[in-house]
Amino acid sequence: MKQHYYAAILAGGLGTRFWPKSRASFPKQFLDILNTGETLIQSTYKRYSSFIPSKNIFIITSDEYVDIIKEQLPEIPVENILAEPSRKNTAPCVAYISFKLLEKDPSACLIVAPSDHLVTDTKTFEELSLKGLRFAEKNKAFVTLGITPTYPNTGYGYIQFDPSLPKEETVFKVKNFSEKPDLELAKTFIASGDFLWNAGIFMWNVKDVVEAFEKFQPEMYELFAAEKDNLNTANEQEAIERVYPLCTSISIDYAIMEKADNVYVIPASFGWSDLGTWNSAYTNLKKDKYENALAGENILIIDSKNSMVHAPHEKLVVLQGLDDFIVVDTQDVLLICKKENEQQVKEFLNLVKKHKGDKYL
CATH T-level fold of 5-142+199-260: Spore Coat Polysaccharide Biosynthesis Protein SpsA; Chain A (3.90.550)
Instruction: State the pLDDT at residue 154.
Output: 85
3-state secondary structure (DSSP) of residue 95: helix
| Rounded distance between C-alpha atoms, residue 262 and residue 257, angstroms | 9
Tell me what the mean pLDDT of segment 220-238 comes to: 96
Please check the confidence at residue 342 and state whether its pLDDT lies above 90.
no
Share of the chain above pLDDT 90, in %: 85
The number of beta carbons lying within 10 Å of the beta carbon of residue 248 is: 14
What pLDDT does residue 131 have?
96
Describe the chain by its helix, strand, coil percentages, rounded to 5.
40, 25, 35
Model confidence over 279-307: pLDDT tens digits?
Answer: 989 999 999 999 999 998 999 999 999 99
pLDDT of 165 reads 67
Report how far residue 163's alpha carbon sits from residue 266's, in angstroms, rounded to the nearest whole number.
11
> Rounded CA gap, 201 and 144, in Å?
6
The pLDDT of residue 166: 64
pLDDT at 119 over 90: yes
pTM for this one? 0.93
Note the pLDDT of residue 168: 72
Domain boundaries, the chain: 5-142+199-260, 278-356
Q: What mean pLDDT is predicted for residues 181-207?
A: 94
pLDDT tens string 57-111: 999 999 999 999 999 999 999 999 999 999 999 999 999 999 999 999 999 999 9
Query: What is the average pLDDT across 186-202?
Result: 93
- Residues with Cβ within 8 Å of 191's Cβ and at least 6 positions away in sequence, in order, are none
For the packed helices 90-104 and 236-243, what is the interaxial angle rounded to 10 degrees? 150
pLDDT of residue 2: 81
- Judged by average pLDDT, the poorest of 92-101, 198-207, 341-350 is 341-350
- For the chain, the average pLDDT equals 93
Q: What is the pLDDT of residue 167?
A: 67
Residue spans of alpha helices (H) in the chain: 40-49, 66-72, 90-104, 122-139, 183-192, 206-216, 218-225, 236-243, 252, 278-284, 345-356
What single-letter amino acid sits at 169? E
Express each pLDDT in 35-48 by its tens digit. Answer: 889 999 999 999 99
Q: What are the tens digits of pLDDT across the range 124-181?
A: 999 999 999 999 999 999 999 999 999 998 888 999 999 886 667 889 999 999 988 8
* pLDDT (0 to 100) of residue 1: 52
Measured CA angle at 232 (ends 228, 238), to 5 deg? 70
